C-alpha cells in the first residue's frame, strides 16, 4: 500500500510576526505585544525584550501586516514572515 500525500492550496498562506528590535520605547512595545497576544504584562515584557521573538504564529497576511504596523508605530522593528511550505517525507 503506497502512502499518498496531499498538499492543500489556499489563497492565504499563514504568516508569523517576528519582533526584531524593541527600540527605545520599550513600554509602548510591551503594551502592543500584550494587546496582540493576550499575554500578561510580565510575559509580554519578557517576550518583547528577548529579540528576535516570534509574536504571532500562523496568522493571515492581513492580520500580520496590521500587527507589524502597530509594532512600528510603537517604535519597534518587526516583520511578517511567510511560513515555509511543509516538506514531503522522503524528499
Domains of the chain: 24-82 (3.30.1390.10)
Asked whether 12 and 61 are in contact (CB, 8 A), the reply is: yes
| Residue 84 predicted with pLDDT over 80 | no
What are residue 21's phi and psi, to 5 degrees?
A: -155, 130
| Residue 62 predicted with pLDDT over 90 | yes
Q: pTM for the whole thing?
A: 0.79
The runs of H, that is alpha helices, within 1-91 are 26-37, 41-49, 61-73
Identify the three-state secondary structure at position 66: helix
CB atoms under 10 Å from CB of 83, counted, come to 12
Over residues 35-63, the mean pLDDT reads 94
Confidence of residue 73 (pLDDT cuts 50, 70, 90): very high
Cell of 1: 500500500
Amino acid at each position: 500500500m503506497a502512502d499518498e500525500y496531499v498538499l492543500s492550496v489556499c489563497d492565504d498562506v499563514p504568516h508569523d510576526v517576528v519582533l526584531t528590535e524593541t527600540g527605545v520605547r520599550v513600554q509602548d512595545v510591551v503594551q502592543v505585544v500584550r494587546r496582540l497576544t493576550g499575554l500578561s504584562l510580565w510575559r509580554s515584557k519578557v517576550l518583547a525584550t528577548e529579540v528576535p521573538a516570534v509574536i504571532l504564529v500562523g496568522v493571515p497576511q492581513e492580520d500580520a501586516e496590521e500587527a507589524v504596523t502597530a509594532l512600528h508605530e510603537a517604535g519597534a522593528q518587526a516583520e511578517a514572515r511567510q511560513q515555509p511550505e511543509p516538506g514531503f517525507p522522503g524528499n
